Structure 1
Amino acid sequence: MQELPQSDDFKSIVLNNTPLIDVRAPIEFNKGAFKNCVNLPLMNDEERHLVGIKYKEHGNVEAIKLGHKLVKDEIKESRVKAWCDYKMQHPNALLYCFRGGQRSKISQEWMRESKIDITRLRGGYKAFRSYLMREIEESPKHFKPIIIGGRTGSGKTILLKDIKNSIDLEGLANHRGSSFGRKITPQPTQINFENALAYDLIQKLDYGFKELYFEDEGKYVGGVCIPKEFAEYLSSAPLIILETPESQRIEITFDEYVVQAQTSYKSHFEKNALQEWAKDIGEAMKRINRRLGLERYKVVCELFEDALNEQMKNNSLNLYKTWVKYLLNEYYDPMYDYQIEKNASRIVFRGNSEEILSYVKEKSSGI
C-alpha cells in the first residue's frame, strides 16, 4: 500500500492557524487539545476503554481486531463522513491521534477509501504538544518582556488590546485575574492554556517583535498556572504603571463586574440569572473575608445587598458603584500599594493610556 503522508512542520501549523482533526476519544480531547481543532473520534470513550483492556490482556493484534469489530458498518460510515465533510470544508486540515500511529493511520486509510486524502501529524498530539512546550521554555531567549501594571480598574486589559505586540494572559485564561474575575464560561484546561500561550508567542515572535507586553499577573490566572520558568522571567521585567483617576476606575470596574457580568449570566441562564450572579458574587466576597477583616466584610456585603435590592426594586444599577468604590478602596488598593512598593525599582514609566501608548510607539519604532 502507498505510504500515507505525514508532517511534523509544527511551526507552519501555528503560523497558518491550520485546522486540525483530533481522532482521539473525547476523554482524551477534553484533557487538552490544540487551537483550531475539532474532535471527531475514531472511537468513543467506551470503545476505546474496551480496546484498551483487550490490548493489555491479549496484545495489539487482538485489540485492532476488536476495534474493527466495534467500529464498522453504519458507525464507521458516519465517522468517515464526518472527517471527509470537515476536510472538504477545510482543505488544508490535518489529522492526528495521540502518537501519530494506528488510530490516525486507520482514519487516513478510511478517508482515502472515500477518495479524500489528508496528512497526519508525525508523532501526533504528543510530538506537537512537546514542540509547543519547548517553544514556551525557549522563548525568553528571543524577546524582552515589559509589564503593564496599575490599580484594579485602571484599564490595563483595555490598554493591552491597543498594543499590537502584547499577549493577553487573562484573555487566554478566560479570567479577569482577580478575586471577582471568574466568568460564567469555564476556563480552559491547563494544557489548553499553555498551548494557546505557545501559539501566541510563536506568532508574535515570528512577526519580528523583540519586546512583548503583558499585564501584571501572579503565578496563577484564576485556576490556571503560568508555566513556572516563564512566569519567573516576567516577574523581573520592567514595569509600566497605568495611572487612571478613581472615578474612571469605578466606571471600568462597574462595567466589568456588574454590567458585562450580568449580560453574560442572562445569556447563559434561562431563569434566575440575577440570582445566580448574586450568588457567585457572594462566594467571591467570602473568599476575601479574611483579608478584609470582619468589619469591612460586613460593610461590603451590606453595600452589595443594598445595590441588589435597588436593582430588583427599581431596575437601577447605580448603587453598585458605591459597592465597587468600597471594594477598590478597602480591598484592592492596599494590596496594590504593597506590591508596587516592593517592585518600585522595576518601574520605568508612569502615565495615562495615551502617554503609555506614545511611550510604547517610541520604543517600538525600530520594529
Structure 2
Amino acid sequence: METSHDFLSIVLDERPLIDVRAPIEFQKGAFKHAVNLPIMNDEERHAVGIKYKEDGNAAATDLGYNLVSGEVKASRVTAWIQFIEENPTAMLYCFRGGSRSRISQEWLHDAGKDIIRLEGGYKAFRQYLLSELMPRAQIAKPIILGGCTGSGKTLILKDLKNAIDLEAIAHHRGSSFGHHIDEQPTQIDFENNLAYALIQHKSKGYKHVILEDEGKNVGKRFLPTDLVAHYKTGDYVIVEIPLEERVQITLQEYVIESQAHHIERFGEGQGLKLWYDYILASMHRLEKRFGGDRLKIVVELFKEAYDTQVISGTYICHEPWITMFLRDYYDPMYNFQMSKVQHHVVFKGNRDDVHSYLEALD
C-alpha cells in the first residue's frame, strides 16, 4: 500500500485529507482541508483502549474488528469512497500512521479504491508544520504594519499579495471587541493554519512578509514566542489617519458589518440583541483598565445609541461612544506600547501612501 511523507506538496497543493481518528481527537486539532471520517467513534475507541490496557494489543485489535464489522464497517467504507470520488487526490491519516490508517487503506483497496496514506500520520505532519513556525524557517524579511486602532490596517493587508493576515487565521479582529460569532480555531488548528500560510508564502519567493502589528495573542490564540520575537525585528510601516476617519472605519466594521452578521445568523430581533450584549460585555471587561467613571459614560453613550438606532434605523448615533473608546482607551494604550520599544520605522503615511509603499515591496 502506498505511503507518502511529502508534506510540502500536501500544503502547496492543498490536498484533501481523510482523518480516520476518533472525533474527540479531531476536535482537539487537525489540518486544513481535512474531514473527520473515523474508523472508530469515541465510544469504540474508548472500549478498545481499555481492552488494550487490560489484555494487550492482540485482544484490543480483535475487539476493534468486532466492533467495526458488518453494516458499521460498510457504512464507514462507503463514506470514505464517496469522499475520494469527490476528491480524487485525497490522502488518509490516523495519529501515527499505524494500524487505523493502514486498516482503512486495506479496506478501501478491497472495495476497489486505492488511497495514499500519510507516513507517520498526524504526529509526523504536525511536527513538520511546527518546524515551519520556527524563526530559522523564515526567509522573507518581516515588515510590520502599525497604526492606531481603526486605521484600516486589515483592509490594507487584504489587498497585498505578500501579506499574511494573522487575525483572519485566528478568526479574531484583534481588539477587545474583536471576536466573531463563530468560535476561534483551537490553538493547534491556529498553529497548523499559520504554518500552511507561511509555507505557501515561502513557496512564492517573496522577499518580504507583511504582517499587522500584533502582540503575542490574537484573541485567545497565541503565536510562538520565538516567532513573535523574530517579527519584532522587522521594519515598521505606520499608517496615520485622522480620528474622524478611524471612527468611520470602526463604525463600519464593529457596528454595521458586525450587526449584519448577527442578524444573518440569528434573525433581526435576536441578532441585534446578541450584538448589543456582546458589545456591552466587552466594555465591562475593560473596566479595570479604562476606569469605572469613564466606563459609565461610554456605556450610557452606547445604550443611548442603541435605543436611537432601534427607533430610527440610523448608525451615526454610535459615533460618540466609538470616538471616546478610540481617543481615551485605545490611543493611549497604543502610544504606550510603541514607546516601550524602539522600533525601526521606515515609512509613515496615510492609507493610500502606505498601501503604495507596501505594494512596491516584493
Query: How far apart in 2 are the matches of 1:140 and 1:252?
Result: 36
In structure 2, the residue matched to 1:81 is 78
Partner of 1:44: 41
Task: Find 1:340's aligned residue among 338, 341, 354.
Answer: 338
1:270-281 pair list within 5 angstroms: 270=267, 272-281=270-279
- Retained in 2: the 8 A contact 1:6–1:121? yes
Q: Distance in 1 between matches of 2:110 and 2:199?
A: 36
Q: Distance in 1 between matches of 2:258 and 2:98?
A: 45
Give the Cα separation in 1 of the matches to 2:210 and 2:266. 36
Describe the superposition over 1:294-353 as per-residue Cα deviations: whole angstroms up to 9, x where unpaired: 211011100100011112222222211221111111111111121223345421110122
2:135 touches 2:227 (CA, 8 Å); kept in 1?
no
Report the TM-score, using the length of structure 2 for normalisation: 0.97
| 1:76-125 residue CA offsets vs partner (Å, 9 max, x unmatched) | 11110000010011110000000000000110011111100001000000
Identity value in percent: 50
User: Who is 1:357 aligned against?
Assistant: 355
1:6 lines up with 2:3 in the alignment: yes
Task: Please give the TM-score of this superposition, normalised by the length of structure 1.
Answer: 0.96
**Match for 1:34 among 27, 31, 34?**
31
Q: Which residue of 1 aligns with 2:309?
A: 311
Partner letter of residue 301 of structure 2? Answer: L
Match of 1:323 in 2: 321
Q: Quick one: distance in 2 between partners of 1:27 and 1:21?
A: 15
**Conserved 8 A contact 2:259-2:271:** yes
Whether the 8 Å contact between 2:177 and 2:282 is mirrored in structure 1 is: yes
The code of the aligned residue for 1:355 comes to D
Q: Which moved more, 1:271-280 or 1:171-180?
A: 271-280
Greater CA drift, 265-274 or 309-318: 265-274
Deviation string 1:172-226 (CA, Å, 9 cap, x unpaired) is: 0000001110111100000000000100100111110121000000000000010
The corresponding residue for 1:261 is 258
Q: Which residue of 2 aligns with 1:122?
A: 119
- Aligned partner letter, 1:265: H
- The size of the alignment, in residue pairs, is 361
SS of equivalent residue, structure 2 residue 346: strand
For the residue of structure 1 that corresponds to 2:38, the secondary structure is coil
- Residue aligned with 2:28, SS: coil
1:204 paired to 2:201: yes
The 8 Å contact of residues 144 and 231 in structure 2, kept in 1 or not, is answered as yes
Structure 2 counterpart SS, 1:363: coil
1:291 maps to a residue whose letter is R
- Provide the rounded CA distance (Å) in 1 between the counterparts of 2:361 and 2:2: 45
Residues 95-114 of structure 1 mapped to structure 2, 5 A cutoff? 95-114=92-111
Q: Identify the residue that residue 71 of structure 1 maps to in structure 2.
A: 68
What is the letter of the counterpart of residue 181 of structure 1?
A: G
SS at match of 1:213: strand
Equivalent position amino acid for 1:210 in 2: K
Q: Distance in 1 between matches of 2:189 and 2:136?
A: 18
Letter in 2 for 1:36: H
The answer as to 2:186 corresponding to 1:189 is yes
Task: Tell me, yes or no, if the aligned pair for 1:177 and 1:222 is still in contact at 8 Å.
Answer: yes
Query: Partners of 1:61 and 1:327 in 2: how far apart?
Result: 64
Aligned-residue offset at 1:245: 2.1
Q: Structure 2, unaligned stretches of length 5 or more?
A: none
Question: Which of 232, 249, 252 is matched with 2:229 structurally?
Answer: 232
- Hey, what's the Cα distance between the residues in 2 that align with 1:255 and 1:141? 35
Contact 1:166 1:212 in 2 (8 A): yes
Trace 1:154-169 onto structure 2 (pairs within 5 A). Answer: 154-169=151-166
Q: Is the 8 A contact 1:139 1:201 kept in 2?
A: no
Of stretches 126-135 and 140-149 in structure 1, the one that deviates more from structure 2 is 140-149
Unaligned runs of 5+ in 1: none
Counterpart Cα distance in 2 of 1:319 and 1:138: 46
Q: Please tell me the root mean square deviation across aligned C-alpha atoms, in Å.
A: 1.2
Q: Is the 8 A contact 1:140 1:233 kept in 2?
A: no
